[in-house]
Amino acid sequence: MADAGLPLTKTYPDGTPYRRMPEVENEIVNVAELAFEDFLERARITNRSHPDFIRPETLMHFLRRTRSDNNEQRFNALYRMVLRRLLLALPRSERVEGQVVIVDGAASDLEDIVRGRFVDLVTLDRAGGDRMDFYEVHFDEAVAKLRMRPAKQIRARTRRTEVLEGDPESGELPEYVERAAGSFDEPDDAFLFDPIFRKRLLEEIDRLKPEQKEVITMLLANIQTHSDDPTVPTISRAIGRDAKTVWNRRRDAIRALRKALRLGEDK
């Protein structure tokens, strides 16, 4: 195997260079000692708690190092391992409910786009540059970033075709939906922080209107709705809207989420 990691060249806005995690740097040094076949054997392990697990950041490092050795076989072998890690880093596009496997069409489309973009990026990165430096820093987070743009586009498209629409004039949901969601009262948002709902909740947040999604995501990060202290970060300041608008969006988002999570009757 090749020797240990060269520094990354990309820099953060404050000028500090991108740096791999210390555990990745150590891993690069350690696995560099291995024969390539032994390295591949370990790279096949995908269970993160296995003692021989190799981090995706380390695999990305060695994949990118093949720029200089021009060895197709080595590239292909490493690429295979990296693509497996890409897939493992993507949220599943189907879920099982009882005996039924439900495929989320939008999530499946999103996954296809992300796979394609990753493949394009690797091809381009092989020609040089620092475009994929962050994949050696935090692989999963880099994959999450890749989802952003297509997720937005697909959700916008899906919203246009969703059957359960409110009144196109007022944007309000039909009354029976409001009642089912317990929405004529102040909606209870305790479920937002309940780990039981966490995964479904995040999936449903994805389906909210963009303005509701941003308010809920900030609430989950414990950002206050409003504050008189100008130094305190607030949702109101972040989105440039008054406290009442934020509250209305929060209320509407919580109603929609309660309904989606079937929490309608037990406000």
Partner 1 sequence: MNRPITSSQVLDQFAAAYRESTAALAEFLVKYPELADALVDYAHQLNLQRECAGERSITPDDELWIEAQISRISAARSAISDPFAAWQPSQYVEARKVLEVPSAVLIAFRDRLVNVASVPVPFLEHLAELLKVGIADLVVFLEGSPRLAANSSYKANAAPGAPTEKIDFESILAQAGVPADKVSALLKEDI
Q: Name the site residues for partner 1 (rule: CB under 8 A).
A: 10-14, 18, 46, 48, 72, 76, 79-80, 83-84, 87-92, 115, 119-121, 123-129, 131, 134, 137-138, 140-145, 147-149, 151-152, 198-199, 202-203, 205-206, 213-214, 217-218, 220-223, 233, 237-239
Query: Which C-beta is closer to partner 1: that of 138 or that of 251?
Result: 138
Q: How far is the CB of 128 from partner 1 (least distance, A)?
A: 4
The minimum distance between CB 167 and partner 1, in angstroms, equals: 27
Both tokens assigned to 118: 């990753």
CB of 29: closest distance to partner 1 in angstroms?
Answer: 22
Q: How far apart (Å, rounded) are the C-alpha atoms in residues 206 and 193?
A: 16
Q: Which is nearer to partner 1, 126 or 209 (CB)?
A: 126
Alpha-carbon distance 32 to 34, whole Å?
A: 6
- Name which of 181 and 201 has its Cβ closer to partner 1: 201
Output the smallest distance, CB 219 to partner 1, in A: 11
Least CB distance from residue 223 to partner 1, whole Å?
A: 5
DSSP structural state of residue 197: T
In the bound state with partner 1, the residue whose beta carbon lies nearer, of 10 and 42, is 10
H-helix or E-strand spanning residue 56: helix 56-69
What CA–CA distance (Å, rounded) separates 169 from 162? 16
| Nearer Cβ to partner 1 (139/182) | 139
| CA 252 – CA 172 distance, rounded (Å) | 9
The helix (H) or strand (E) run that includes residue 101 is strand 100-103
Q: Which residue lies nearer to partner 1 by CB, 149 or 267?
A: 149
Q: From the CB of 211, what's the least distance to partner 1, in Å?
A: 10
| In the complex, least distance from residue 90 CB atom to partner 1, rounded to whole angstroms | 7
Q: Half-sphere exposure of residue 262, counting CA atoms within 13 Å on the CB side? A: 1
Residue 29 near residue 4 (C-beta atoms within 8 A): yes
CB of 91 or CB of 264, closer to partner 1: 91
Give the integer Cα–Cα distance in Å for 106 and 203: 11
Integer angstrom CA distances of residue 267 from 142, 150, 166, 181, 249:
38, 34, 21, 8, 18
Residue with structure tokens 């050696």? 136
Cα–Cα distances (Å) from 160 to 81, 164, 206, in that order, read 38, 10, 14
Q: What one-character DSSP code corresponds to residue 4?
A: S
DSSP 52: T
